[in-house]
Amino acid sequence: LCFKDAQEMLLALENDKAYTHWGITGQQVSGRDTCECRRVLKDFLKSKGDVNFVKIGVGKPVGYGHYKDLSIEHETVNKMLEWITERNFNVGAADTTMYMWGCRVGDPEKGNGLINAQIKDFKRTRDWDFLTMLEKFREVPTYTVAKRAGDMLARVIGDRKAGKIFDNSTYEFLVKIRALNREALALFVPDLAPTIRMPAHLFRHLCAQRLRKLTHGNSAFCAKFMNCSKQSFDESYGGITEGEVTEGLEELASIL
- Counting Cβ atoms within 10 Å, is residue 6 exposed (0-12), middle (13-18) or buried (19+)? buried
Find the helix or strand (DSSP H, E) in which 90 lies: helix 89-101
Q: What is the pLDDT of residues 138-164, one digit of tens each?
A: 678 788 788 888 899 999 999 999 999
Q: E strand or H helix at 52, and its extent?
A: none
Nearest alpha carbon to residue 219 among 241, 234, 204, 198: 234
| pLDDT tens digit sequence for 75-85 | 999 999 999 99
- Model confidence at 74, pLDDT cuts 50, 70, 90, reads very high
Residue pair 37/16 in contact (Cβ under 8 Å)? The answer is no
Residue 107: C-alpha distances to residues 21, 104, 162, 184 (Å): 19, 9, 20, 22
Quote the CA–CA distance of 56 and 8 in Å, as a whole number. Answer: 12
pTM of the model: 0.73
Burial state string for 226-251 with b = 16 or more CB within 10 A and e = fewer than 16: bbbeeeebbebbbebeeebeeeeeee
> Given this model, what pLDDT does residue 155 score?
94
Report the alpha-carbon distance of residue 153 to residue 155 in Å, rounded.
Answer: 5
pLDDT at position 227? 81
The per-residue pLDDT for range 170-212, each reduced to its tens digit, is 889 999 999 999 999 999 999 988 888 889 888 999 998 888 8
More confident residue, 251 or 234: 234
Which of 42, 83, 47 has the alpha carbon at shortest distance from 59? 42
Amino acid occupying residue 100: M
* pLDDT tens digits for range 102-135: 888 988 887 888 999 999 999 988 888 899 888 7
> Hey, what amino acid is at 175?
V
- 105 touches 115 (CB < 8 A): yes
CA distances from 196 to 47, 66, 67, 187 (A): 38, 11, 9, 13
Q: Distance between CA 142 and CA 222 in Å, rounded?
A: 15
Q: Which of 10-24, 37-51, 114-128 holds the top average pLDDT?
A: 114-128
φ/ψ of 22, rounded to 5, equals: -80, 125
Q: How far apart are CA 254 and CA 180, in angstroms?
A: 44
